[in-house]
Amino acid sequence: MLTQEKQTPELLEEKKTITGSEAVIRGLLKEGVDTVFGYPGGAIMPIYDALYDYCDKINHVLVRHEQGGIHAGQGYARASGKVGVVFATSGPGATNLITGLADAMIDSTPLVCITGQVFAHLLGTDAFQEADVISISAPVTKWNYQVTDASEIPAALAKAFYIAKSGRPGPVLIDITKNAQLQQFTCGEHVPCDHIRSYRPKPIIRKEYIQEAAALINQAKKPFVLWGQGVILGAAEQEFRQFIEKSGIPAAWTIMGAGALPSDHPLNVGMLGMHGNYGPNVLTNDCDVLIAIGMRFDDRVTGRLDKYAKQAQVVHLDIDPSEIDKNVKATVPVWGDCKETLPLLTELIEAKSHPEWLQKFREYEAQEVEQVIQDELFPASGEMTMGEVMQQLNELTNGDAIIVSDVGQNQMVACRYAKLNHTRSNITSGGLGTMGFALPAAIGAKFGAPDRTVVTFVGDGGIQMTIQELGTIMQSDVDVKIIIVNNQFLGMVRQWQQLFHERRYSFVDITSPDYIKVAEGYGIAGKKITERENLRSGLQEMLTHKGAYLLEVMVTKENNVFPMVPQGCSVSEIRLK
């Protein structure tokens, strides 16, 4: 390969007059970026050219599709707590980011995406590979900005990182025209941004609301906590645990909040929502005070709103004022970062336990174990289930792995049954429900948490949406473990067709390639498991294998995920069968 020599770091540091592209790379370094996911192209070539000199400082992961790049950025951000950075070129490169932007927006994932754009004088002329990415991405970014002059780059980049990670995090897109990338300018010191006059990342905490909330909690007979990803995003796991343990209140989680409290904590009563646990769903309509912490009452959590927790007084803690009263009316709103508000609340609440109330959850749990969980995790005969794959994995990893699930039945099984001992261990597309998310997100998660075992749990439909990222695994030598639970169907759609469309299985029967051969083609080891007796050894082999490994497990075709809150029903109408 013919390559030009790189410039020395000393020479690079000394330069005062630099190109816009060099300013981008310098800015990223000053913001502490060590990994970028991306795909080069004509309109972002100058940035890639500048990156060439900094390859020893910034690890660039060449993905196989921009969608893979942004999902990898999401996985990186979710696993590490840092900002994910993604490069893409103009036009089709930029538009391929849109799904990931929408996903990151709804799941509050901090990202900075940098897209190349055609020359500024060509804007609006339908130039080659021109797309109005600023307009297209406006509804799915927390902020976006188009740079047409190199001198704007340092401030725009600093602002982008500040907006992406502060307050309620989210994705930001900076679109840089090619002339701005090439333009020479005198670049000053990088000044990190910590204030924007029209932007209030955190609302002011109102002490009187904290007092009102504490009074409600102290007088409650049947209080119930629902927590979401706000606890993780606020790095408030410790504060949350202290609140829960002092108050003695049973707590249930949304899938975005999973892992903030260990799965086996005595006050962790399970998962909320459409495929959540029986007890927390039913008892939502029985509690007297509902304390929502860093969660947004998604429709998948609430079911029918007009029948949701009507008997309860609601305390809602959230950093985003627009979430308060959006879906469920709050009796007491507690605006603020829960890392700051929870200790204030914990101080004012009385130390209590609620044994009788907690026992109610346990009774429902016993019913669910008997009617659903036992058969799902420990089937006595017949074909393998997704649940038993997860159960075996739990036993082998002891809940220490990062589980990256896709969307559909595999996601619900993974979220319901994965044992999670640590925070930032459950990575999935919660709000947008993006099939194809898991494989690239797992790549990113491994870069974000290189010391942890990363296991992808994906269906035969989802894997085929972004299967090209096996190429990224091959080239970057990423140690991710891939479990394809293959039921030969688009399982969740089939389940709905069975339950609500009289088994009219319209286009859900999906054929798969020979995944082991596909993996082999990419230099990835793998094995297909068709018999239960080989499942545990297959999982063991996967986990101990050095490097990436693909394990395909053939599971029963028409298994359903239960419990389930049918569409249009209240959470207390959740079905066990």
Partner 1 sequence: MTNQNHIDRQEFNITVYTEHQVGLLNRIATIFSRRKMNIESLNTSPSEIEGIHRFNIVIHETEDVVRKLTRQIEKQVEVLKVYYHTNEDVIWQEMALYKVPTDVIAEKALVERLLRENGARAVVIRKDYTVFETTGHREETDNLIKVLQPYGLIEFVRSARIAIIKGSEGFNRKLREFERAEPGSESVENEYLNSREKIFSM
Which listed residue (9, 15, 59, 138) binds partner 1 by CB under 8 A? 138
| Given 19, 144, 464, 466, the residue binding partner 1 (CB under 8 A) | 144
Considering only CA atoms, give the Rg of the chain. Answer: 24
Q: At 89, list the tokens.
A: 């070129």
322 is a site residue for partner 1 (CB under 8 A) = yes
Question: Does 196 sit near partner 1 (CB under 8 A)?
Answer: yes
Beta bridge partners of 484: 458, 552
| Shortest Å distance, C-beta 566 to partner 1 | 24
- Is 329 labeled as catalytic in the residue annotation? no
Q: Which of 2, 4, 124, 546 binds partner 1 (CB under 8 A)?
A: 124
135 lies in the binding site for partner 1 (CB under 8 A) = yes
DSSP string, 291-327: EEES----HHHHBSGGGSSTTSEEEEEES-GGGTTTS
Please say whether the dihedral angle defined by the alpha carbons of residues 249, 255, 261 and 266, taken in this order, is positive or negative. positive
Single out the residue of 212, 286, 320, 573 in contact with partner 1 (rule: CB under 8 A). Answer: 320
- 494: contact with partner 1 by CB under 8 A: no
Q: CB of residue 222 vs partner 1: minimum separation in angstroms? A: 29
CA–CA gap between residue 457 and residue 439 (Å, rounded): 9
Task: Using alpha carbons, select from 452, 78, 25 the residue that is nearest to residue 70.
Answer: 78
Query: Among 142, 165, 178, 360, which one carries the catalytic annotation?
Result: 178
Residue 179 binds to partner 1 (criterion: CB under 8 A): yes
Complex with partner 1: residue 186 or 398, whichever CB lies closer:
186
Candidate residues 29, 53, 81, 199; the one interacting with partner 1 per rule CB under 8 A: 199
129 carries an active-site annotation: yes
Query: Of 6, 128, 359, 370, which residue is the catalytic one?
Result: 128
Is residue 148 within the footprint of partner 1 (CB under 8 A)? Answer: yes
Spell out the residues 6+ positions from residue 7 whose beta carbon is closer than 8 angstroms to its own. 53
Q: Give min distance, CB of 273 to partner 1, in A.
A: 22
Min separation Cβ 193 and partner 1, Å: 11
Q: Which of 9, 32, 92, 139 binds partner 1 (CB under 8 A)?
A: 139
| Residue 128 is a catalytic residue | yes
Residue 120, interface with partner 1 (CB under 8 A)? yes
Nearer to partner 1, 42 or 343 (CB): 42
Catalytic-labelled residue, pool 271, 386, 492, 542: 492
Whether residue 412 lies in the annotated active site: no
Q: What's the rounded Cα separation, in Å, for the pair 243 and 349?
A: 9
Among 36, 98, 134, 173, binds partner 1 (CB under 8 A): 134
Q: How far apart are CA 28 and CA 83, in angstroms?
A: 11
The number of C-alpha atoms within 13 Å of 405 and in the hemisphere containing its C-beta is 23
Selected from 19, 146, 181, 284, the binder of partner 1 by CB under 8 A is 146
Catalytic (active site) residue 10: no
Our CB check for partner 1 shows the closer of 125 and 359 to be 125
Contact 361, 525 (CB under 8 A): no
> Judged by CB under 8 A, does residue 204 bind partner 1?
no
Record the tokens describing residue 144, joined without a space: 């976006």
Exactly one of 66, 323, 368, 376 is catalytic; name it.
Answer: 66
Which helix or strand (DSSP H or E) is residue 231 part of?
helix 230-233
Q: Which of 143, 369, 453, 558 binds partner 1 (CB under 8 A)?
A: 143
Residue 123 sits in the site that holds partner 1 (CB under 8 A): yes
The sign of the torsion formed by the CA atoms of 179, 183, 188, 189 equals positive
The least CB distance from residue 323 to partner 1, in Å, is 9
Judged by CB under 8 A, how many residues of this single chain contact partner 1?
32
Closer Cβ to partner 1, 302 or 464, answer by number:
302
Residue with token string 């900076």: 174
HEC letters along 429-481: CCCCCCCCCHHHHHHHHHHHCCCCCEEEEEECCHHHHCHHHHHHHHHHCCCEE
The two three-digit tokens of residue 453, written as one number: 């075992």
How far is Cα 256 from Cα 243, in angstroms, rounded to an integer?
19
Which residues between 33 and 72 bind partner 1 (CB under 8 A)? 42
Burial class (CB in 10 A: 0-12, 13-18, 19+), 500: exposed
Instruction: Please give the structure tokens belonging to residue 532.
Output: 């239960």
Q: How far is the CB of 203 from partner 1 (least distance, A)?
A: 11
Exposure string (b/e) for 63-96, b if CB count within 10 Å is 16 or more? bbbbbbbbbbbbbbbbbbbbbbbbbbbbbebbbb
As annotated, the active-site residues are: 66, 128-129, 178, 492
Which residues bind to partner 1, rule: CB under 8 A?
42, 119-125, 134-135, 138-139, 142-144, 146, 148-149, 152, 163, 177-179, 196-199, 320-322, 325-326
